[in-house]
Amino acid sequence: MATIKLGNIVKTYRKGDVPTIKSISLDIKDKEFVVLVGPSGCGKSTLMRMIAGLEEISSGDMHFGDLRVNELSPKERNIAMVFQNYALYPHMTVFDNIAFSFKLQKTPKDEIQRKVTEAARILGIEHLLDRTPREMSGGQRQRVAIGRAIVRNPDVFLFDEPLSNLDASLRVQMRTEIKKLHKQLNATMVYVTHDQIEAMTMGDRIVVLKAGIVQQFDTPMNLFHEPVNKFVAGFIGSPAMNFLDGEIILEDKLKFRSKDVKFGVPDALVEKLKGNVGKEVTYGFRPEYIYDKNYEKVRWLSEDVAVMIDNVEPTGSETFNYFHFVGNPAQTYCFRTNSEQDYKIGDIIRIGVDIERLRFFDKETEARIA
């Protein structure tokens, strides 16, 4: 059983310093693909390195299954790691790179040959076995690095931003291959990335980290639709969620009011927001759920408001439209449309947000209220 349990894990590099990891507790299930995602410096690589045994744990407990691994060296944890810079041994051939751990264990030659050949076949690199790393492309090197990991048949695979050095199209291809590998090997995988699209497409569950604290540990769709705070809401999703500061007021009914808009709070959210009358809140609305009143006749939208188009970015199948609320050009927001809706810079349109997709966050704590 390759479960990983982190109990109040703390990492401090020097006594008296602010902890890099501030008491993280996670339960990673057997055979799960978990992604650690967050901005640079959030502690995701540090956390992964503690799982690998490359960093000491300052306090807390880490278990692989029933085994407490805090004091165990990397080789004793039965893990394999794929590094961002591949970390292939430059003076060894691909065969020797993949076979290295077996040679250390004095595995018989024919067994090494069999295992290396099998791993090479799975990754499509049999024709590269006699080459050295410098004779290969980035994508090929990354496959060799993955081959070196899978051949060891570990309990846990760790990937530390393995696709960061690859070009965009290769990244998409390798993403799919790693996901396929997960299905094939049926192993627990922990994957670090700063790319939230990579996280969303690959993870069974995602750990969103900020400043050494777990913000949310949930499935991709839950993170997208039900973020627990403003940070998660803004980090997950591309383009990012739009935010508008304002307050909850009570007129004839409960309303949200900001400098640019005022609209009635949907009935479904009244119960959650009524205790916040007079309080400052942040209203979050995703680009995907903003609709032009002229085009959208089916969905139940919030009260519409006039906006002016600032910029248009067609991507082929869809268009990102940047706008500001009429009368306030200082703040720009984004909404997505299909490519048939052809706006020009300067167009004034009326938009509304899918009523089921309004999100409100406490302005001070940034926690989600509704």
Partner 1 sequence: MKKIKLQKVFFLVFLLVVSAIYIGPFLFSLSISFNTNKDVFQWPIQLIPDSVTLANYKSVWNDLPFARWLINSLLVTTIQTVSNVFFSALAGFAFARLEFPGKKLIFTLLISSLMIPGIILLVPKFIILNELHLVNTYPGLIIPGLVSITNIFLMKQFFESIPKDLEEAALIDGCSYFRIFWQIFLPISKPALAAVAIYTFQGSWNEFLWPVIVLYSDNMYTLPLGMASLKDELQTNWPLLMAGTILISLPTLAIFIIFQRYFVEGVASTGLKG
Question: Which residues of this chain interact with partner 1, rule CB under 8 A?
Answer: 52, 54, 73-75, 79-81, 83-91, 100-101, 104-105, 148
Sign of torsion over alpha carbons 180, 186, 191, 197: positive
Task: Give 84 or 201: the residue with its C-beta nearer to partner 1.
Answer: 84
Task: Give 85 or 341: the residue with its C-beta nearer to partner 1.
Answer: 85
CA dist., res. 334 & res. 310, Å (int): 10
CA dist., res. 104 & res. 301, Å (int): 64
Bridge partners for 191 per DSSP: 35, 159
Task: Give 148 or 359: the residue with its C-beta nearer to partner 1.
Answer: 148
**Minimum distance, C-beta of residue 115 to partner 1, in the bound complex (Å):** 14
Task: Give 89 or 295: the residue with its C-beta nearer to partner 1.
Answer: 89
**Minimum distance, C-beta of residue 92 to partner 1, in the bound complex (Å):** 8
- Region of 258 (left: φ > 0; alpha: ψ -120 to 50; beta: rest) is beta
Task: Give 133 or 227: the residue with its C-beta nearer to partner 1.
Answer: 133
CA dist., res. 321 & res. 117, Å (int): 51
Give the residue carrying structure tokens 């990354």: 142
> Which two structure tokens, joined as six digits, stand for 289?
């759920």
CA dist., res. 44 & res. 191, Å (int): 9
**Minimum distance, C-beta of residue 10 to partner 1, in the bound complex (Å):** 20
Radius of gyration of the chain from Cα atoms?
25
Residue 241 · residue 285 · CB < 8 Å:
yes
Residue 228 · residue 361 · CB < 8 Å:
no
In angstroms, the Cα distances linking 254 to 119, 229, 276 are 62, 22, 10
**Minimum distance, C-beta of residue 77 to partner 1, in the bound complex (Å):** 9
**Minimum distance, C-beta of residue 58 to partner 1, in the bound complex (Å):** 16
Residue 51 · residue 80 · CB < 8 Å:
no
**Minimum distance, C-beta of residue 119 to partner 1, in the bound complex (Å):** 14
Task: Give 86 or 283: the residue with its C-beta nearer to partner 1.
Answer: 86
Residue 48 · residue 160 · CB < 8 Å:
yes
**Minimum distance, C-beta of residue 74 to partner 1, in the bound complex (Å):** 5
Provide DSSP, 19-71.
Answer: PSEEEEEEEEPTT-EEEEE-STTSSHHHHHHHHHTSS--SEEEEEETTEE-TT
CA dist., res. 269 & res. 50, Å (int): 42
**Minimum distance, C-beta of residue 50 to partner 1, in the bound complex (Å):** 13
21-28 vs 4-11, strand pairing mode: antiparallel
**Minimum distance, C-beta of residue 80 to partner 1, in the bound complex (Å):** 7
